[in-house]
Structure 1
Amino acid sequence: MKPVSINFHLWKPCNYHCKFCYETMPDIHDNLSLNDSLHLLKLLREAGTEKINFAGGEPTLCPYLGELLSEARRLGFVTSIVTNGARLTQVLTRHAADIDWVGLSVDSADEETSKRLGRGFGDHVKQSITLFDALNEHKIRVKLNTVVTRLNYQEDMSAFIRRVRPERWKIFQVLLVKGQNDGNVEDLLITKAQFQEFVDRHKHLNAEGYKIVVETNDLMRGSYVMIDPLGRFFSDAKGYHEYSLPILEVGVNTAFAQVDWYVENFVERGGIYDWR
């Protein structure tokens, strides 16, 4: 199976300091130029990629995200941004027509809990509600991404879900990735039973038309096709990052063959859906 959906972590810097962040990238100190990024998009499209998710770090901080969205639209990609919303308003002003999906990250409906997790500075929930409303007005399809940790696994977010109305709600079990968040995340880790407790508390939302996508640690590892800021495929299948050679040097197929991708997990976690 070809990598039909790819997460391009194009930008390392972030304006938040989430304690559980899986992609801190301490070993990466540069990123592709705009021209190289545009070339990379062309190669991915030619190789059969259908959906491109711009992620980070925080992708809206990238000064040329708009140009990449425009080119991705021209090439025929389904376009997506995974963001905490930092500069999303500015991106929407010029490039709303180039965006199919936005995944907004909100881990708790409680401002203080969000702050304790490192997600914002005490106003992240309020700002996110405003952004959800703006995305709905632009008729951009919306996902909500929530990482479940020791600080929020007992929370009921049902009222928040009904308020922001995401088309898909992705619920992740907090994941330890060596070299990325070890040393910070250990106090936030939860058991499968605790994670399931959070999931079960919200199952009733499925009957209300909200699509809930549940991702345990076992389903997450190795199920995403990811590219780092240097233009290399990388995988966390073994619990730490392994990298391919640069795609621009060896090509998509050769580079992709150098990392692990668990297709069964990708399919099981709902990686293929009606994204068009």
Structure 2
Amino acid sequence: MTEEEAFRVVGLLRRAEVRGVVVSGGEPTLLPYLADLLAELSRPLPSGLPGPRVVLSTNGLAPLRTMERILPQLSWIALPLESADAEQHRLMRTGVAPHRARVLRLLEEVRTRHDRVQVKLGTVVTRLNLSGAPDVLDLIEDAWLPHVWKVYQMSETNYGADNRDWLSVGDQQFEDVVARCEKAAANRGIRLEVYRNSKRSGSYLFIDPDGQAVVIDDGQERRIGHLFQEPDMVAAGLRGAIDHTRNAGNFSGTYPDPTAEGAS
């Protein structure tokens, strides 16, 4: 996405007074303009309301000097950690060694030097990490623990459907892992959120780098039109495809407002 197009998207979201945005990818920290984009997105709205809660979903590989410019603009950062078993993690994060060590280093940095930024740790359950996924918290010292741990049932994108047969796990397999994760989270006092494929539809609205709006419908990604070139088509496509209550609950459950009463 070009810088101009990205700032157009931010302007639209701010005019609509969207309350929460996840900046994801690909890998967004590769964008040279990311810090400026996040600063614009997160500033107070013209109406006087606070800007949206901004989440950066990153693989955790950006140099710390890069993250120092980005972190002050964030409400949350989302980091991946796939298994307590080093080989299982390597199989799921190929080509980016030593990925796990660098994620843990960034987690330590955020928790010790940027306490305003909340941390969500994400673990995607596949056939490769069934045994090691529930133990990822064992890798983390108490002082560095995330605020939320979210465990995802593997769901392939339209671009990754060829991975379904050798990576996906059935509902019962997934629930067995979830039960172990629940015990691990309770033992460490961590809030656990669970992503089940059965709840996927109606929960997500994406804006792709080419400007296309994408929703999850019947478990599949569906493009509903170009955000700026086909606004009427996008508006029509959103009706019935997005459950606003589920969409808001999905965001707030994963990234709760730390200033709200009762938030952890």
Within-5 A mapping of 1:85-124: 85-87=60-62, 89-124=64-99
Aligned partner of 1:266 in structure 2 is 247
Paired residue type of 2:229: E
Paired residue type of 2:108: D
- String of CA shifts for 1:40-62, please: whole Å, max 9, x gaps: 11111111201111100111112
Aligned partner of 1:53 in structure 2 is 22
Aligned partner of 2:48 in structure 1 is none
Unaligned runs of 5+ in 1: 1-30
The two structures, once aligned, show a CA RMSD in angstroms of: 2.3
Paired residue type of 1:261: I
SS of residue paired to 1:107: coil
Contact persistence 2:61–2:99 (CA under 8 A): no
- String of CA shifts for 1:13-53, please: whole Å, max 9, x gaps: xxxxxxxxxxxxxxxxxx2x212211211111111201111
SS of residue paired to 1:96: helix
Contact persistence 1:60–1:88 (CA under 8 A): no
Q: 1:202 to 1:240 in 2, by over 3 A?
A: closer
2:155 is equivalent to residue 175 of structure 1: yes
Q: 1:49 to 1:275 in 2, by over 3 A?
A: farther
Paired residue type of 2:131: Q
Q: 1:261 to 1:93 in 2, by over 3 A?
A: same
SS of residue paired to 1:223: coil
2:187 is equivalent to residue 210 of structure 1: no
Paired residue type of 1:50: R
2:226 is equivalent to residue 246 of structure 1: yes
Aligned partner of 2:114 in structure 1 is 138
More off after superposition, 101-110 vs 115-124 = 115-124
More off after superposition, 134-143 vs 265-274 = 265-274
SS of residue paired to 1:176: coil
Contact persistence 1:114–1:120 (CA under 8 A): no
Paired residue type of 2:53: V
Q: Distance in 1 between matches of 2:63 and 2:69?
A: 10
Contact persistence 1:111–1:122 (CA under 8 A): no
> What is the percentage of aligned positions where both structures have the same residue?
28
Aligned partner of 2:37 in structure 1 is 68
SS of residue paired to 2:56: strand
Contact persistence 2:200–2:219 (CA under 8 A): no
Paired residue type of 1:60: T
Aligned partner of 1:41 in structure 2 is 10
SS of residue paired to 1:241: strand
> Between Structure 1 and Structure 2, which shows a larger proportion of helix residues?
2
TM-score by length of 1: 0.79
* Residue of 147, 152, 161 corresponding to 2:124: 147
Unaligned runs of 5+ in 2: 45-50, 260-264
TM-score by length of 2: 0.82
Aligned partner of 1:83 in structure 2 is 58
Which structure carries more relative contact order (alpha carbon 8 Å, separation 6+)? 1
Q: Distance in 2 between matches of 1:227 and 1:275?
A: 26
Q: Distance in 2 between matches of 1:95 and 1:134?
A: 13
Q: Matched residue pairs, number?
A: 243
Aligned partner of 1:16 in structure 2 is none
Contact persistence 2:205–2:216 (CA under 8 A): no
- Alpha-carbon offset, residue 79 of structure 1: 1.4
SS of residue paired to 2:192: strand
